[in-house]
Amino acid sequence: MDKQLILNKIMEYNTIIIHMHQRPDGDCYGAGFGLKNILTESFPEKKIYVVGETAEYVKFIGDVDTIPDETYQGALSIVVDTATHDRVADQRYSKGAYVIKIDHHLPVDQYGDYQYVDTTRPATSQIILEFYMEYMDILKLNMDAARALYTGIITDTGRFKYRSVTSDTFKAVAHLLDFGLDFTQILSTLDVRSENQMKLQGYVLQNFEKTPNGVAYIKLTPEVIQKFGVSLEEATSLVNELSVLEDCPVWMLFAEYENQIVRARIRSKGPAIDQLANRYQGGGHPMACGANLGDWATVEKILADADELVKNYKQSLS
């Protein structure tokens, strides 16, 4: 992998358009706006944009840009935190004169002219931060970039709880703190929940179910979400409410998205779940995945497979 090539392409193009994935999470936002703010600070003469969808819970990082098709003429497209081309929120990325993919997910889709994929990093935001740190003689950091990158790292590492975190993660974050970042303000902002979301949280804790071998799960149907008056994003962010159950190393949250497509958020603190997600048109990391189930009937199938996975995992420990 060649970070120098990425820097050379950034230096070469006057217009740079950064793309994120559909239904962006904190790391996607952090990487996208972190990179935008670094490049804007470093090259004020260049035109830098971030396009895609809005994630309300991390909207304090920045607002996406709206640009016409002609902006892509002679532009550099950079897609961050997006494993497959079909998940890019704005498919116009391919209209760029050159396309770079920067990601930390398993490389299942080699789209773009150049792919920089580092699966040893727990967040794409860490890749962007380390890219800046390697070329500090050329690139400049500002506080907006620092806030974005920190947000991306802590959200994709579960606030440094996941096994993917390494000493390099803390070294990179230490640079942000030395820069003067007030990380407590970001954590406080992320902790804020609406009254309706807190009530839904209570519903999740009172109504979750478990499979025989220890898969905890909650089904958030459209009726439930409408009853509590929360957004789909607010509802699905509650997936980790089930993480503390001592006998359930795997937990899932099911919800219905656009076009009545049911999706699963899958988390684990034991067995690897990425291959399970792959069987259901999904993927991600060994301990955090998503899957496209299509309908509610398929929910029962993935629960059965997950239950067998947990059964085998527990037997391997005994």
Q: What is the pLDDT of residues 114-155, one digit of tens each?
A: 999 999 999 999 999 999 999 999 999 999 999 999 999 999
Q: CATH number of the domain at 211, please.
A: 3.10.310.30
pLDDT of 1 higher than 80: no
Rounded CA gap, 35 and 129, in Å? 8
For residues 310 and 87, which has the higher predicted lDDT (pLDDT)? 310
Instruction: Please tell me whether residues 255 and 309 are part of one structural domain.
Output: yes
pLDDT for 103: 96
Q: Are 12 and 108 in contact (CB under 8 A)?
A: no
Rounded CA gap, 286 and 266, in Å? 10
Instruction: Please tell me whether residues 14 and 124 are part of one structural domain.
Output: yes
Work out the percent of the chain whose per-residue pLDDT is above 70. Answer: 100
Determine the length of the chain: 318
Structure tokens at 128: 């962007």
pTM above threshold 0.85:
yes
pLDDT for 49: 98
pLDDT of 184 higher than 90: yes
> Up-side HSE of residue 172: CA atoms within 13 Å toward CB?
27
| Domain enclosing residue 244, as ranges | 195-317
Rg (CA), the chain: 20
pLDDT of 285 higher than 90: no
- Burial class, 255, CB count within 10 angstroms (exposed 0-12 / middle 13-18 / buried 19+): buried
Considering its fold, how many domains does the chain have in total?
Answer: 2
